[in-house]
Amino acid sequence: MDWPVISDADVLASRPAKNRLDPWKPYAFLVEPERSAAGSVDDVMTIFLTNRECPFRCTMCDLWKNTLDERVPVGAIPAQIDYAIKRLPPAKHIKLYNAGNFFDAQAIPVEDHAAIAQQVRQFETVIVENHPRLTDERCVRFRDQIETKLEVAIGLETIHPTVLSGLNKRMTVDDFDAAVRFLVGHKIEVRTFLLLKPPGLNEGEGIEWALRSLHHAIDVGVQCVSVIPVRSGNGVMETLSERMQFSSPTIRSMERVLEHGLEFVRRVSPSTRVFMDVWDIAKFFNCPSCGPARSGRIQRMNLTQQIEAAVECSDCDQDNR
């Protein structure tokens, strides 16, 4: 496939409407198990904060659907966190995901950092997401405020030189590497998001570049890798699909990348975790007979970090893995 050139204008023109949100409430919150850095399976509280849209309009992103056009009032983010914590069971770790960048002052007001720190220092780990170009001393100051372990999640997406530049993310691999080294140098842990089969790549290329990107992320110092199979649903991805420039990966590709990732870290970095994102995983079922079994296998491997025996299916082609 040829790489499609997509601009901000293209992204905006293809969008459906945003969801209507209350700036004083998170748009979602939940507790789910995750394999911890210590090797245990712990409950993690995830709060999806309502805030201003990310200024980096990445081609593949659909998180903007649950964002606002304006900055939230000071005090709104602490109110959202309080709202979710009061309604969820206890957990050891907390993710504050804001569909963008935690250290963007137009998303999370700096005036709220102290109040947020007071709310989250009870957790063993606080995980936030951020763009490499916004990764600097602001992260260190917040780590000092929370008085517990901080982990910053950064989207590398891919090290494919043409694809990364075409994702409209406004960063380079060097930007990512510099951000990781900065965080690791300040004893802040890093997880990264990688894409499986972004636009412009066929199935085999999608697998190859996901694994190349995984190897690179671990080599530069990332302690946790989450692989995201690219989905349609944000408007521009449907346009690319109509042009034959994008199709979602298969669940078999998801299995293969996770298997190879787990095998790689077992050999070179046993403390590193590799996850395959399972959000809305039924969209990737290519065979109704074995799709649920493959989904269950992926979810168990995420938790155990061990490769399970392959799923056998008489209804689909086992050679097409």
Tokens 């709310």 correspond to 119
Tell me: the pLDDT tens digits for 219-258? Answer: 999 999 999 999 988 888 888 888 888 889 999 999 999 9
* pLDDT for position 119: 98
Q: Which residues fall within 8 angstroms of residue 32, CB to CB, at 6 or more apart? A: 43, 44, 46
Distance of CA 144 to the CA centre of its chain: 24
Lowest mean pLDDT among 13-17, 61-65, 119-123: 13-17
- Lookup: tokens for 28: 């979602």
What pLDDT shows up at residue 5? 66
Instruction: State whether residue 29 is helix, strand or coil.
Output: strand
Residue 93 has pLDDT above 60, yes or no: yes
- Mean pLDDT computed over 292-300: 96
Distance from C-alpha of 247 to C-alpha of 163, rounded to nearest angstrom: 15
**Can you tell me which residue has the tokens 């972004």?**
198
pLDDT at 320 over 80: no
**CA-based nearest residue to 152, from 239, 224, 57:** 224
State the residue for tokens 């081609």: 59
| Distance (Å) of CA 217 to CA 38, 44, 118, 255 | 20, 23, 32, 19
Residue 57 predicted with pLDDT over 90? no
What is the distance between the alpha carbons of residues 76 and 64, in angstroms, rounded to a whole number? 18
Lowest mean pLDDT among 6-20, 73-87, 110-124, 175-189: 6-20
Q: 130 by DSSP, 3-state: which?
A: strand
* Residue 260, token pair as written in the block: 């190879």
More confident residue, 149 or 56: 149
Q: Which of 180, 249, 244 is nearest to 210 (CA)?
A: 249
3-state SS string for 208-269: HHHHHHHHHHHHHCCCEEEEEECCCCCCHHHHHHHCCCCCCCCHHHHHHHHHHHHHHHHHHC
Q: Which sequence spans correspond to the domains of the chain?
A: 8-304
Residue 309 CB partners (closer than 8 Å, separation 6+) = none
Q: Name the CATH topology of 8-304.
A: TIM Barrel (3.20.20)
* pLDDT for 317: 60
**CA atoms of 131 and 106, how far apart (whole Å):** 14
pLDDT in tens, 181-219: 999 999 999 999 999 999 989 999 999 999 999 999 999
pTM of the entire structure? 0.93
User: CA 107, 110, 114: angle at the middle one, nearest 5?
Assistant: 125
Residue 185's pLDDT is: 97
**DSSP per residue, 155-188:** EEE---HHHHHHTT----HHHHHHHHHHHHHTT-
Q: Can you give the pLDDT at residue 13? A: 75
What the block records as the tokens of 22 is 């209350």
Rounded to whole angstroms, the Cα distance separating 74 from 76 reads: 6
Buried-exposed string 45-61: b where 16+ CB fall within 10 A, e elsewhere: bbbbbbbbbbebbbbbb
- SS3 (DSSP) at 11: helix
